[in-house]
Chain A
Amino acid sequence: MRHLFHLWVYLETTPLLGLTVTLLVYRIAVAISQRLHHAALANPVLIAIITLALLLAATGTPYAAYFQGAQYVHFMLGPATVALAVPMHANLRRIRRSAGAIVPAILAGSLTAAISAMLLARLLGAPREITLSLAPKSVTTPIAMGIAEQIGGQPSLAAVFVLLTGLTAGVLVGPAMRLARVTDWRAWGLAAGTAGHGLATARMLLLSETAGAFGGLAIGLNGIFTAIIVPLLAGLLAGG
């Protein structure tokens, strides 16, 4: 028993524990999501976050101790963001060919989502921290966290808002496109990628390959646009 206690004390102080648990829990979450045929709410990221949060609470482990190990996974977000250039490059010909439609559509959608989110949150009395963390919620997580940090929001709040936005967009894209009488798969994909980043785009891929491709290019372009626009908007709209 004493032995086990010493082992626990040792494990608690090494990054190995946080790293192992993160990988293991995520692996199991992926298996669960596959079992449930990728239902919108059976998202592996969501399952893993909830499971790990409950584990931390149950063992009384502070987040900072967990992050000591998890930071090695977290760090890879940077290189992964850079790697988004590869699928963007693969779609470059398509982007050039329909740039006249793609650029205004993404810019307008990006501005609409960011401005309405910030204004609504502010109207409903949310503090500055929340409003600023909501601003980049439509873009892919690594970019959103970078933006949130830059403008004075909370990167971890931004990560959760991004996740919730992606799930919401995955559920709402069908009704929204039907309401706007949009029948073109390219427009469905672009809307999903702009408003709901990779999570909504993954659902588009189940419907149409074209929609998936346009979702993919919207993720990259919207990430870049938002990184430029949101820091400028943030000062104006976040309020005191």
Chain B
Amino acid sequence: MLNALTLLVLCQFAGEVIARLALLPIPGPVVGLVLLLGGLILRERRGYATPGADLKATAQGLLGNLGLLFVPAGVGVVTQLDVLGRNLLAVAVAIVVSTFAGLVVTGWIMQRLSRPEEEE
């Protein structure tokens, strides 16, 4: 876990530095994600089992409990109840309609463009 956690935090750190130095409007951790993905691809090309057992277990542990990590920020909604209450209708309509539209567009285009997948 130590190696994997260090690697994840290092990627995040590097991502943050790159995003700020290059003035990218992208969150640092997303740049870190791309860096790690690139690293994993390179590692696999050199013939190592990828990801290593340590990283695999740590990633599973973090992503398996992702829900917990949203809670503190979600509770922050108590500081926003005012503005949320005043805009309830706008928020509800925007979320329901845009989600439905996003689902239809993605699903329809994917089915139109994809070839049948060979069995695996």
Contacts and interface: CB of A to CB of B under 8 A. Distances in A.
B70 to A, nearest CB: 5
A101 B110 CA distance: 5
A157 B72 contact: no
Contacts of B56: 86
B72 A81 contact: no
A231 B26 contact: yes
Interface of A: 22-23, 25-26, 30, 43-45, 48-49, 52-53, 56-57, 63, 66-67, 70-71, 73-74, 76-89, 92, 97-98, 100-102, 104-106, 108-110, 112-114, 116-118, 120-121, 124-127, 129-130, 134, 137-138, 140-143, 145-147, 149-151, 154-157, 159-165, 168-169, 172-173, 176-177, 179-180, 182-184, 186-188, 190-192, 194-196, 198, 218, 220, 223-224, 227-228, 231-232
B105 to A, nearest CB: 4
Contact of B98 (A81, A120, A220): A120
A176 B78 contact: no
Nearest to B60: A86
9 contacts: A45-B74, A48-B74, A52-B75, A82-B36, A86-B40, A117-B95, A121-B91, A124-B94, A126-B94
Given A108-B109, A156-B80, A187-B107, A121 B58 contact: no
